[in-house]
Structure 1
Amino acid sequence: MLNKLAISGIKHRIRDYAVLFSGLVISSAVFYMFMTLATNQSFLKTSTPVDATPIIFGFGIILLAIITLVYLVYANGFLMSMRQKEYGMFMMLGARGSKIGRMIFLETVIIGMISTVVGIVLGIGLTGALSQWLIDSMDLTIKSFNPIYLPAIGFTFIFFIVIFALAAIRNSLRLRKTNVLKLLHMDQQPVRIKKAGFGKLILAIIGVGLLAAGYYSMILLGKGAMILLPVALITIVLGTYLVINSLFSWIIRLLKSNRRFSLKKLNNFTLSQLGFRISDYTRILSMVAMLFALALGAITVGGQLKSVSDFVVGSNNYYDAVVHNIDDQQRANIKKIDVKDQVTYNYKIKGNQLYFNLEQFKNHKFANYKMVDYTKQDEMKTPPVEYYGFSNKKQQSKAPMTDLFTQVSPSDASYVPNFVNTSEYQKAGGKERSMTFIKSSGFHQNLAAIKKVAVKDKEKYPTLIDQKYQNYMMINSFFSGLEFMGIFLGIAFLAMLASCLMFKILSGAASDIKRYEMLHKMGTRNNLLRTSVNKEIATLFLIPGVMGIVHVLFGLQMFRVFVIHPYANILLPFSIFFCLYIVYYFVTVTLYKQIVLKKIK
């Protein structure tokens, strides 16, 4: 009989259970996505040059486990808030606490097992789709990575089953110790609100000061003062907590004291709701703000590494491709490139003498990037171009440092370059050879065609120094692992943290039902109630979101050590953050309204 009542209760709340189930599926999917990287040692060793990567991922496993644990606690709270009144009714009807405890245990474990299995399957699909999108869109070179990874499946399944078993035991014990009347009236418990007094004002000022000190420390970190890293970490964590707990409480108090604002529509009610929400949610909002900053920072820096690798390649070679002794097949390959500039130079080798025809450089000067000291630059800029006509000794002395000389052959460093007129060139002995330099309208836009030209040239002349395409592949493979991990894990963490915030808000929805019903009975229009919900939840999402963005904007200063312009191309990561965040906001608002305004028509 008890089992039938339990199943009937689940059917009655099937929509709420669907929300819970989908959230648990997402959490296990995200956990699996992380574990496919963290447990794959061959991938970590082959895809990143950083020796400390396994240690970093070991720390990441601990961090994600803590976040997942917090997430499951809130999801479990959401489950209990839905069923606690029904459990109380069962006990009033004579059901023993041990029976209900066993029912709760089985219910929690079964939901956990099913959601974990579905989450792993979803995680495999998401891992494959996201990894392929990143590899294709960013032209990454990834080795030893497989979306279906058995150790990750094992770790994920064991972790979640253990957590769900512990949660089931906790639920069962908690229920047995709770008085029946308290279960029946859990949603009517009074909430104590601490007023924002003078003490909180002092704490708010201290919090702002700590954040300022932390931000300044990160600016100094970008200049090489690595000793300040612990200072920045401690001050920003403490500052975030104090600002959320104290500063926002004072802002709410000031808004409530402004009667023209607070007495307009339901503003006073919304501010009161936020008043006790801020006090209750300080820890979760602080955690979400900090970890949002880490996740968003990982995506941003991952994208910056791509721009760094492109900059390194683009600033070393002016010409996008070089063809030695061009033939008909290479001419056909060049036609597939959107050519901006193309020039051919002939040369002869006699003994240790290298001869070029000066007339060719008069008609078309050779272009080469100027040598630049990048440590003295404050942003990534393409080096200025120098044009060489080699008509004077100063330019001729620089010839060995240009691509014109280095593309002759790797052993030609001992050759002496000679730039002579046409008659002297014709008298010089040796077989005439040629080099055709090609500048395209855009290296990445023409990458497929440039690859064909470069690969074919390398096949014919394997001993020649690598040209731009080979340099691009080498540097891209060097950074690819770090880029992939940064963006991949950043997106996964953002999804998990937004889910944490969503379930924390939903877990308290049951206690808000009476307040909204009371306002409705007093004659408050439905649209005002819905607007109040929108404002309240928007504020709870905005606080950690805005603080996380501010943390990232200052935190990027730290990466000036190896990223010349850390704020370049930040639109993509911030767009990803905004899209994920706005989706979770609308889902949370919709579900919250379905709970608290369900009986209001």
Structure 2
Amino acid sequence: MYSKIAVGNVKKSFKDYAVYFLTLTLAVCIFYSFNSMGTQKALIKMKSVSTLMKVMSYTSVFISIVLGSLILYANNFLIKKRKKELGIYMTLGMGKRKISTILVMETFLVGVISLISGLILGIGASQGLSAFALKLFDLPINEYKFAVSTGAIVKTVLYFGIMFLLVMIFNVFVISKYKIIDLLTAGKKNQDVSFKKPIIYLIAFILCAVSLGFAYKSILKVGLNVLDPMFLISIALGILGTVLFFFSLSGFILYVVKKNKRVYFKGLNIFVVKQINSKVNTNFISMSLICLMLFFTIVSLSVGIGFKTVIDAGIKKSTPFDASISVQNKDEGYNIEDVLNKINLKISKNEKSVAYNEYLIGMKASDFLTTGDFKKEDVDFVKLSDYNKILKFKNEKEVNLNKDEVLILSNNNAFMKPINEKIKNNNKINIKGKEYLIKNPKAIEENLMTAYGTTSFFTIVINDEFLSGYKISKSVLNVNYLDKNREKYNKKYEKRQDYGKGAYILGISKDAVYSESMEETNVLIFIVIYLGIVFLITSMAVLALQQLSEASDNIERYKALRRLGANKKMIDKTIFVQIFIYFSLPVSLALIHSVVGIKVTSDFINNLQKIDINSSALVTALIFIIIYAGYFYTTYVGYKNIVKNNL
């Protein structure tokens, strides 16, 4: 008998509270999809994928806590809405233990249905995620194979099994605390919403505007400099401003709309405004949290998806050769070719190489640049003959310089912008008391060696005679392989060791730079996407559940509207407007936050490499709209059903 009641209750819940089941299914789907990455054979051998799966396992623990909290919240909402039903069970003589048994059965059924539907959807979604991963790791798409991860299935069942077990325990505990009188009268109790004086909301709104304005201005100024105290202050003020916004919103909106009598008394607007105000007043903390999670989602997905392109472009610029090995010591002036002979590292017939030297003459970037803080940054000098050897090595046209001409090289945006501005205003530079003409109209974007990042911060190419009296500060050998067996040569040049008096030998291969950068970048991108989607679903689910909770709480109010002459069409329109406004409030502020957040993040990345987030922003918008529209529609239909069934 109990199992029949449990099955009937689950069927009824599916109809009225589809949001709950939609959330559970999506949660299982996403959890499985991201934890099944290691199954794709083309990815298994890659070191970065093994690292990704390790990080993913730790992240999944945090995600499970977030999803577990969401499931408990949603379950608590369902129990709250069923108080009257549970009271009737008790009135008919059913004991609390038997009611608990029914709830345990219901939770078990819901868990099984959600797991099965979520896993089926997840197996399909994981194939698309695997294809995306192959593209991200620069592997041919024809290596893709359909795969189902038994390990990810077991992990998903285990994690969500624990979550549903906690829900069962929670339900038993809650039922044991209820009294029959409280259950039977729950539907007649209205939440006491207290509104403060309008002046309090006005002051809160002004403080909100000041906090957010100062936070935006400060973060735009300091950027992502986490060491600057203003960075943390800006974050704190942004959070405070968000909370104050939603706290002040209820009283502020009510005050403004009341002043406009035409709007306030038109149709059922007075009812809609009171409903929105009471809900925002009650849930301003949760709405603030939702807004911040949506902000993280929008920024992380918009910038994160396009970050891969930026990193790839940056790697291409910083690795012009298959390998580079250098020795650095400005006191001794070591030459790389002599050093390699002494450590018995020979260049084979299957390799091409070119060597060049860098010199320091005591000139700082601040001697030329008037904007920016470059006091500590040295200017590197390279002989014209060495630079031409590099150009010839790359099959590029060599350059000629007169005695009073120089070239300026830079491959770092923080230097390039002020250098280009300076050249535009004055194309001459003073070096050791003599003026030289800068031949190039703007800084030449070029790395002279393969490195983990841009090494040409501020490099001047000058005629050989000028540097004849200076010691070598760094000597570099650039190598290109003629043999396809790259791994053998990579091991040969990937060296890090001390040499002589304070000198240091450093060898770097293009493949090593790409591998390490790809590992860090791809792990970051996947984690950001994982967290972003989970936060988006959590935010939408909480908004939906809060609205459905209001539907049940306000049945008597809708009955009163009906008695006053409101027809079904008017009530449906009221429900639509109410849900639309409630869903839009946190999204709107999150979008404003995101404009600033994307600007700050983009500026930070642009210092390394120019970024174009148009395509990634479009993908983010598509994901956001699909999930937002899905939850909005499901909430609207569920809300209408609850009102319709009780009128």
Q: TM-score, with normalisation over the residues of structure 2? A: 0.63
Residue in 1 that maps onto 2:192: 192
Residue in 2 that maps onto 1:497: 539
Output the CA distance in 2 between the equivalents of 1:166 and 1:495. Answer: 21
Residue in 1 that maps onto 2:365: none
8 Å Cα contact 1:85/1:184 also seen in 2? yes
Residue in 1 that maps onto 2:275: 273
Residues 1:539 and 2:540 are matched in the alignment: no
How many residue pairs end up in the alignment? Answer: 493
8 Å Cα contact 1:533/1:589 also seen in 2? yes
Structure 1's 557 and 169: CA in aligned 2 closer, same or farther, altered over 3 A? same
- CA deviation after TM superposition for structure 1 residue 290, in Å: 0.9
The residue type paired with residue 181 of structure 1 is: I
8 Å Cα contact 1:211/1:235 also seen in 2? yes
SS of the equivalent of 1:191 reads coil
Residue in 2 that maps onto 1:585: 632
Unaligned runs of 5+ in 1: 319-352, 363-368, 382-393, 407-454
Structure 1's 57 and 549: CA in aligned 2 closer, same or farther, altered over 3 A? farther
Output the CA distance in 2 between the equivalents of 1:513 and 1:548. Answer: 31
Residue in 2 that maps onto 1:331: none
- CA deviation after TM superposition for structure 1 residue 573, in Å: 2.1
Matches within 5 A, 1:195-594: 195-197=195-197, 198-222=199-223, 224=225, 226-228=227-229, 229-312=231-314, 372-376=411-415, 459=484, 479-559=521-601, 560-564=603-607, 568-569=613-614, 570-594=617-641
Structure 1's 190 and 314: CA in aligned 2 closer, same or farther, altered over 3 A? same
8 Å Cα contact 1:31/1:156 also seen in 2? yes
Structure 1's 581 and 126: CA in aligned 2 closer, same or farther, altered over 3 A? same
The residue type paired with residue 256 of structure 1 is: K
The residue type paired with residue 374 of structure 1 is: N
8 Å Cα contact 1:141/1:476 also seen in 2? no
Residue in 2 that maps onto 1:75: 74
Output the CA distance in 2 between the equivalents of 1:227 and 1:44. Answer: 41
Output the CA distance in 2 between the equivalents of 1:136 and 1:209. Answer: 45
The residue type paired with residue 169 of structure 1 is: I
Tell me how large the CA RMSD over aligned residues is: 4.9
- CA deviation after TM superposition for structure 1 residue 66, in Å: 4.1
- CA deviation after TM superposition for structure 1 residue 396, in Å: 13
8 Å Cα contact 1:201/1:247 also seen in 2? no
Unaligned runs of 5+ in 2: 321-388, 399-407, 421-436, 450-479, 494-507
Structure 1's 563 and 43: CA in aligned 2 closer, same or farther, altered over 3 A? farther
8 Å Cα contact 2:108/2:164 also seen in 1? yes
Residue in 2 that maps onto 1:28: 28
Residue in 1 that maps onto 2:472: none
The residue type paired with residue 596 of structure 1 is: V
Output the CA distance in 2 between the equivalents of 1:163 and 1:473. Answer: 38
Output the CA distance in 1 between the equivalents of 2:202 and 2:263. Answer: 22
Output the CA distance in 1 between the equivalents of 2:69 and 2:45. Answer: 28
- CA deviation after TM superposition for structure 1 residue 468, in Å: 11
Which whole-Å deviations, capped at 9, do the CAs of 1:147-172 have from their partners, x for residues lacking one?
75556544433333233223223223
Which whole-Å deviations, capped at 9, do the CAs of 1:517-571 have from their partners, x for residues lacking one?
3212221122221121111111111111112222222223443333345674233
Residue in 2 that maps onto 1:156: 156
Residue in 1 that maps onto 2:431: none
Residue in 2 that maps onto 1:92: 91
8 Å Cα contact 1:256/1:271 also seen in 2? no
Structure 1's 252 and 373: CA in aligned 2 closer, same or farther, altered over 3 A? same
Output the CA distance in 2 between the equivalents of 1:530 and 1:583. Answer: 18
8 Å Cα contact 1:78/1:508 also seen in 2? no
8 Å Cα contact 1:516/1:597 also seen in 2? no
Output the CA distance in 1 between the equivalents of 2:292 and 2:305. Answer: 20
The residue type paired with residue 178 of structure 2 is: T
- CA deviation after TM superposition for structure 1 residue 493, in Å: 3.3
- CA deviation after TM superposition for structure 1 residue 82, in Å: 4.8
8 Å Cα contact 2:243/2:285 also seen in 1? yes
- CA deviation after TM superposition for structure 1 residue 17, in Å: 5.8
Structure 1's 86 and 593: CA in aligned 2 closer, same or farther, altered over 3 A? same
- CA deviation after TM superposition for structure 1 residue 312, in Å: 2.8
The residue type paired with residue 305 of structure 1 is: F
Which whole-Å deviations, capped at 9, do the CAs of 1:268-303 have from their partners, x for residues lacking one?
100110111102222221121111111222212212
SS of the equivalent of 1:508 reads helix
Which whole-Å deviations, capped at 9, do the CAs of 1:439-489 have from their partners, x for residues lacking one?
xxxxxxxxxxxxxxxx99875999899999999899767644433443354
Structure 1's 255 and 150: CA in aligned 2 closer, same or farther, altered over 3 A? same
Q: TM-score, with normalisation over the residues of structure 1? A: 0.68
- Which of 472-481 and 130-139 deviates more? 472-481
The residue type paired with residue 239 of structure 1 is: G
Percent identity, aligned pairs only, is 24
